[in-house]
Amino acid sequence: MPRAVIAIASNPNGAGNESAYNEWYAKTHLGEIRSAPGVVAAHRYRLPDAQVTPADRPHRYLTLVELEVADLPAAVAGLLGRAAASPEAARLMELDPMPAITVWERLPD
């Protein structure tokens, strides 16, 4: 079955919401993601100050979602639908810049 990774880069909506954003993401949204069909793992990361190459990076948080699915487009649509249905996502997640969501298909070893 094909494997893929979805990378979701995002920010909290305002500095005052960072704690609420992280609590919602860790206690609610990550569980919603992990319960989606085909998801085998999902983990969050924070961008530290120390980087290999300097660059202006608009997002400070990254979620990597590992999938193992037969129909990748349907799985991606399902995950996006879960995010869109969450009223907390619109309240706590910054929309300018929009979260950057990219899908990566695994290549054979």
Cβ neighbors of 62 (< 8 A, separation 6 or more) are 7, 8, 9, 10, 44, 45, 46, 47
The per-residue pLDDT for 82 is: 84
* H or E element in which residue 50 lies: none
Quick: pLDDT tens for 33-52. 999 999 999 999 999 988 99
Q: Judging by beta carbons within 10 Å of its beta carbon (0-12, 13-18, 19+), is residue 16 exposed, middle or buried?
A: exposed
pLDDT value, residue 85: 83
**pLDDT in the model for residue 21:** 94
Residue 40: CB atoms within 10 A of its CB come to: 11
SS3 95: coil
What are 46-95's pLDDT values in tens digits? Answer: 999 889 998 888 999 999 999 999 999 999 999 988 888 888 888 888 88
Task: Show the tokens assigned to 80.
Answer: 């996006």
Q: Which residues contact 25 (CB under 8 A, 6 or more apart)?
A: 44, 61, 63, 92
Residue 73: per-residue pLDDT = 93
